[in-house]
Structure 1
Amino acid sequence: MSQSITTKELARRVVNREETLILDVRNTDEFDDWKIEGDSVYVINEPYVNLLDGIDPVTKKLNKDQEIIVVCAKGRSSKKVAKMMEENGFTNVKDLEGGMKAWSEHLEPVKIADLNDAGSLYQFVRLGKGCLSYMVISENEAAVIDANRMTDIYERFAEEKGVTIKHTIDTHLHADHVSGSLQLANHTGGTYHLPPKDAREVTFDYASLEEGSDLTVGNTTVKVQPIYSPGHTIGSTSLIIDDRYLLTGDILFVKSIGRPDLAGKAEDWVGDLRETLYSRYKDLSDDLIVLPGHYSSIEELSEDASVNVRLGDLYQRNKALQVEDEQAFRKMVTENLPPQPNEHDNIRQTNMGKVNPAEEKQREMEIGPNRCAVHV
């Protein structure tokens, strides 16, 4: 009988760069839009509909003795295909539990650094969507930044570390994924922080995240310093952690910059985006380590699967930071906008508290890659 592999097991393979062969049986348009990626991951797409009458279409492509992981949208079709392959002599076939839906929700915690007074900083890598969230720990307290909606993962991690989540923070009003920050604060008795300029239409109480109002995690000196940095949204606010790490939200990424159009304000906000990238950030130390809110490709992951880069190095490598002419910058941004995230308006409405879709609907709203960046 064919075996299953969990998203956690597959994530470790991707992170450890182990050779992995995947047979993705979703429709080709779904596959082309979004797939499992990794340095040592090889993926073949053969739609399930082509295999209903037999597995001949893949028999010629695959060795019957090699390990093959079958993937579908929700984990049902992959089980059927794996069974068919086993019945036809394939000896090492596994199906991915929960399919791409489960892969989209997996979070892989990676330790970034030790902080002052025995504190620590963790990055949670959402491999299936490219979202990055963070937890700052100091003494017996924690702050979570840009939490995904799978709040139980952060709660379990905090429990393992013996800390209580006292603060949850959104660097901006998200449009590509449903935020879990408010829910996490409600579950843990913490305080939810949101930039006030992004909170004008929200239906719930929040604490203002504003430059000049630093936060302290624990009774020691792990400082969370907000820096107003509009452009992706009008309220986007970056965070300097422990004077060493710059959490840029969706303003600046490793190989790209944030898009200004998800609220329909591209022409209005592109000037703010340039001001943030070419002035506000330029005034910061080159030695700050940038920790973005997303990554776009597996190439941006370092050896330990974290995403981080020195700010000064980004100004040397990231082409979007090297356009001196303002009009050329405006043209570059507005002409390189990718398709908008799936259901981005519904996601924004959900994150404002105006609608409350069922959990399964929220999953469907998030399906697909993140599209928060302008790629040059």
Structure 2
Amino acid sequence: MPDATEISPAELLGRLRNGFEPLLLDVRNPDDYASWRMDFIRDQVNIPYIDFIETPDESAGKVPQGREIVALCAKGGASAYVANILKDKGITAVNVAGGMKAWGNLYVNTPVWAGNGAEVIQFNRVGKGCLSYLLVSGAEAVVIDPARHVEQYLAAAKERGVKIKYVFDTHLHADHISGGHSLAQVAGAEYRAGSADMDLATTPCLPAGDGEVYTIGGMTIEVVSMASPGHTPGSTCFLFADKLLFTGDTLFLSSMGRPDLGGHASEWVYNLWDTIRKFEKLGDDVLIAPSHTTGTMEMDERWRVIKPLGALRKTNPLLTIGDKERFAAKILSCLPAEPEDYQNMRHANLGQVEPDEETKERWELGRNRCAVESAAEARHR
């Protein structure tokens, strides 16, 4: 077994949040490194593992001196080997246990809002940029866009002494396996999503129709569904207590959801335009809580990915386009390639296939690719 000093992804993130500024040595091949990076560390160098095998002295010499080194690979083994090579040469390096695979399954839970006896907790799957939410009022709760690791939502609800009453998926997910149906089963909750997305589902799912009202807690906090087609035909946003809009993959802090994953981009892009026009009736103070993030640049000082709609109206470049045809042209010109396993995950989330855990892990590897990309994002993803 490798004897390199190891650090878990959770421990590493905790240190980074407290000001740790290491140099990341990523030993994956250049293509994998370019496709999916640990963007929480600013200073990075990519020296492939094979280089340390073939030319260990030369490769070790490329590692900058005088820095605390964090070594990273896909699953933790190759980087442990490299860390030991560096150790033998007097260079201290700590290895990330489990590598990017483990980083992709790390969640950070952050309170993002509280008021009127209610609270909202954001679950950030930091490696993938996936966000989900627990909404609590009184003794009841709602979960929005849960990932397949459902234990964390059950634990958070138990900690607060509340029962999960509803589980909502804002749309048919393509970038990860939803935990919506399984969480609802375990919690004894209603599972709901937009019927236009789930009409081919073999798993039980109740519709979340436009304008429907769901109440939780003794204070009758309302969750109002809002049909928002564009990213998918059944995309649905949820307005909580008139204060927060959970936008799923419709509106992100810096972009919007891509309209091409169903193969109808030229049609769905106009649905997205119409949906964004609906948001014009909402006040500037409504907080936008999306289901994806591009990473650290969208986090505030409390590590929340949430921002007032009024701010987005000034900073989100797609929200500043006031012409329908220019909007459509811009969107369609900024669509990244679709990852090959996205259609597999769509079928799995409809219950049409039942992949094993190993397959789920493989399909989910990598950062989400659900947003319209700018040229800068494409270069630095």
Calculate the TM-score normalised by the size of structure 2.
Answer: 0.93
Alignment of 1:108-123 (within 5 A): 108-117=108-117, 119-123=118-122
Q: Are 2:272 and 1:270 equivalent residues in the alignment?
A: no
Q: Which amino acid aligns with 1:166?
A: K
Matched residue of 1:312: which SS?
helix
More off after superposition, 98-107 vs 181-190: 181-190
Shift of the alpha carbon at 1:60?
2.3
Deviates most, 337-346 or 104-113: 337-346
Q: Which residue of 1 aligns with 2:25?
A: 23
CA contact (8 A) 1:13 1:20 kept: no
How many residues are paired up? Answer: 372
What's the counterpart of residue 345 of structure 1? 343
Letter in 2 for 1:350: A
Give the letter for the 1:351 counterpart. Answer: N
Q: Say if 2:132 and 2:291, in contact at 8 Å, map to a contact too.
A: yes
1:191·1:207 contact (CA, 8 Å) conserved in 2?
Answer: yes
Cα deviation for residue 323 of structure 1 reads 1.9
Q: Deviations over 1:158-208 (max 9, x none)?
A: 223332322211000011111111111112222211111111110011121
**2-structure distance, mates of 1:359, 1:17:** 35
Contact 1:197-1:235 within 8 A present in 2 as well: yes
Question: How big is each residue's C-alpha offset from its partner over 1:41-75, in whole Å with a ceiling of 9 and x where there is no partner?
Answer: 32211111111145324432335664211111111
Matches within 5 A, 1:120-139: 120-139=119-138
Tell me the SS of whatever aligns to 1:268.
helix
Matched AA of 2:235: S
- Give the deviation of 1:289 after TM superposition: 0.6
After superposition, give the CA deviation of every residue in 1:115-150 in whole Å (9 maximum; x if it has no partner): 322x21011111101111111112232211111111
* Counterpart secondary structure, 2:225: strand
Contact 2:166 2:184 (C-alpha < 8 Å) held by counterparts? yes
Name the stretch that deviates more: 77-86 or 356-365.
Answer: 77-86
- For residue 45 of structure 2, what is the amino acid of its counterpart? I
Distance 2:363 2:143 in 1: 23
TM superposition shift of 1:282: 0.6
> Does residue 370 of structure 1 match 2:372?
no
Task: Name the structure 2 match of 1:162.
Answer: 161
The ranges of structure 1 where at least 4 consecutive aligned residues each deviate by more than 6 angstroms after the TM superposition are none
For 1:219 and 1:228, locate their aligned partners in 2 and report how far apart those are by CA, in whole Å: 27
Distance in 2 (CA, whole Å) between partners of 1:98 and 1:158 is 28
Matched, 1:300 2:301: no
Asked if structure 2 preserves the Cα contact closer than 8 Å seen for 1:146 and 1:169, the reply is yes
CA contact (8 A) 1:342 1:368 kept: no
Residue 2 (structure 1) shift: 2.5
**Greater Cα shift, 21-30 or 62-71:** 62-71
Deviation at 1:345, TM superposition (A): 0.3
Alignment CA distance shift 1:65-1:328 (3 Å) = closer
Specify the code of the residue in structure 2 equivalent to 1:125: N
Distance 2:212 2:19 in 1: 42
Change in Cα spacing, 1:317 to 1:96, as seen in structure 2 (3 Å) is same
Residue aligned with 1:44, SS: strand
Q: Residue 24 of structure 1 aligns to which amino acid in structure 2?
A: D
Identity rate, percent: 38
Q: How far apart are the structure 2 equivalents of 1:56 and 1:372?
A: 41
Give the 3-state SS of the residue equivalent to 2:104 in structure 1.
helix
Paired residue for 1:213? 212
Which runs of no fewer than 5 residues in structure 2 stay unpaired? 375-381
- What is the rounded CA distance, in whole Å, between the counterparts of 1:136 and 1:36 in structure 2? 29
Structure-1 separation of matches of 2:159 and 2:79: 34
Matching residue of 1:103: 103
Report the Cα distance in structure 2 between the residues aligned to 1:242 and 1:8, rounded to whole angstroms. Answer: 33
> Deviation at 1:256?
0.8
Amino acid at match of 2:257: G
| Equivalent-residue separation in structure 2 for 1:108 and 1:26 (angstroms) | 25
Q: Which residue of 1 aligns with 2:242?
A: 243
Equivalents in 1 of 2:107, 2:340: separation in Å?
20
Task: Specify the alignment match of 2:190 in structure 1.
Answer: 191
What is the SS of the residue equivalent to 1:259?
coil
SS in 1 for 2:280: coil
Structure 2 CA distance for aligned equivalents of residues 42 and 246 of structure 1: 35
Unpaired segments ≥5 residues, structure 1: none
Are 1:194 and 1:208, in contact at CA under 8 Å, matched by a contact in 2?
Answer: yes
- The offset of 1:25, in angstroms, is 0.9
- 2:73/2:100 contact within 8 Å kept: yes
CA distance in 2, matches of 1:17, 1:304: 14
Structure 1 residue 329: Cα displacement: 1.4
Question: What is aligned with 1:5?
Answer: 7
Structure 1 window deviating more from structure 2 (302-311 vs 345-354): it is 302-311
**Is the aligned partner of 1:327 residue 2:325?**
yes
Q: Distance in 2 between matches of 1:17 and 1:260?
A: 38
CA distance in 2, matches of 1:337, 1:164: 40
In the alignment, the residues of structure 1 paired with residue 46 and residue 311 of structure 2 have an alpha-carbon distance, to the nearest angstrom, of 37
> Which has the higher mean CA deviation after the structures are superposed, 236-245 or 290-299?
290-299
**TM norm structure 1:** 0.94
Q: Which of 286, 289, 292 lines up with 1:288 in the alignment?
A: 286
Q: Distance in 1 between matches of 2:362 and 2:232?
A: 24
Partner of 2:378 in structure 1? Answer: none
